[in-house]
Amino acid sequence: MSRPYNFSAGPAALPEAVLEQAGEELLDWNGAGASVLELSHRGPEFMRAAEKAEADLRTLLSVPDDYAVLFLQGGATTQQALIPLNFAAPRQAADYILTGHWGATAIKQAQPYVDARVAADTADGGYRDLPARADWALSEGAAYVHYTANETIHGVEFDGIPDVGDVPLIGDFSSSIASGPLDISRFGVIYAGAQKNLGPVGLTVVIVRRDLLARTGQARAPILDYSAHERAGSMLNTPPTFNWYLAGLMFQWMLDEGGVEEFARRSAVKSQLLYAAIDGSDGFYRNTVERSARSRMNVVFSLHDEKLDARFLEQARAAGLISLKGHRVLGGMRASIYNAMPVSGAQALADFMADFQKRNG
């Protein structure tokens, strides 16, 4: 029996090939006589896997040598609190660009530690567009500028990297990392929860320019210190070894599939299929995001009559299309089409949407 297409926003679908390999190796990993779940994170077997995962991620994302790669716990939200602790002096200004729910979450995590300033905000418009760069009110002497590259709930995404001059740019790429080429040298820090494009929930990748690790920051315990994690090879405490291992399988799978250039191509095809289904429905389906700001990763839409929502979800599930219910903040529907979602999944959803409209229009 074939598996359904899973449009979950996170924890998201993983490629079948990755799941199958993990299943085959679960009881005896590489001849170690035990599962990777049962082996020491400091043992030679796991150390080799950790080193390969980092090397593969560096290759996949073209990470420059002057950037450290950390594999940490706590999700993106924890990083949002650690960023001001590590890179800003107490009450120093830090600029935030708010384009959706997760940008608003990031500034809340920073407010206890810095003078967190809203440099641009699209809340009044319902987070349906991106603020023009010329309208950003950046602060003189800010420790950094933070933005969310892709907002999973509101379905908006930056096309390109904003220019903020010499101030370190920090990007939350949790839902769009590895979906296309990215010039990491333009950033001070990139961070991403793994559970959308990089692997399972429970692991977070932080890519940080090494000179920033020398910043004094604020008083903090070693476990909250990025430089301490870097010196310890991301093993300051026991890391989530299975998650790290599984992410390593994902990195290898993405490289084997053609790397970020290929996933950029697939993302364009998948998102175009779904937006065409919405825009060509004569209002039966609606997406209110400005077209220039539409996300390639999270396609949000509503039906013209919300009374049809339950029927849509029930029949979609019966057709092998699951996890399409929208976030509680917005309601409606959301199709998350991360790297593990094949083009055939987006095509199947577009076909179902057309058929559902014929039967219920």
* Active site residue ranges: 102, 172, 196
- Are 26 and 353 in contact by the 8 Å Cβ rule? The answer is no
Three-state secondary structure of the chain: CCCCEECCCCCCCCCHHHHHHHHHCCCCCCCCCCCHHHCCCCCHHHHHHHHHHHHHHHHHHCCCCCEEEEEECCHHHHHHHHHHHHHCCCCCEEEEEECCHHHHHHHHHHCCCCEEEEEEECHHHCCCCCCCHHHCCCCCCCCCEEEECEECCCCEECCCCCCCCCCCEEEECCCCCCCCCCCHHHCCEEEEECCCCCCCCCCEEEEEEHHHHHCCCCCCCHHHCHHHHHHCCCCCCCCCHHHHHHHHHHHHHHHHHCHHHHHHHHHHHHHHHHHHHHHCCCCCEECCCCHHHECCCEEEEEECCHHHHHHHHHHHHHCCEECCECCCCCCCEEEECCCCCCHHHHHHHHHHHHHHHHHHC
> In the structure encoding, which two tokens stand for residue 352, read together?
């179902």
Q: How far is CA 135 from the centre of its chain?
A: 26
Q: Which two tokens stand for residue 148?
A: 């969310």
Residue type, 196: K
- Residue 176 and residue 194 in contact, taking contact as beta carbons nearer than 8 Å: no
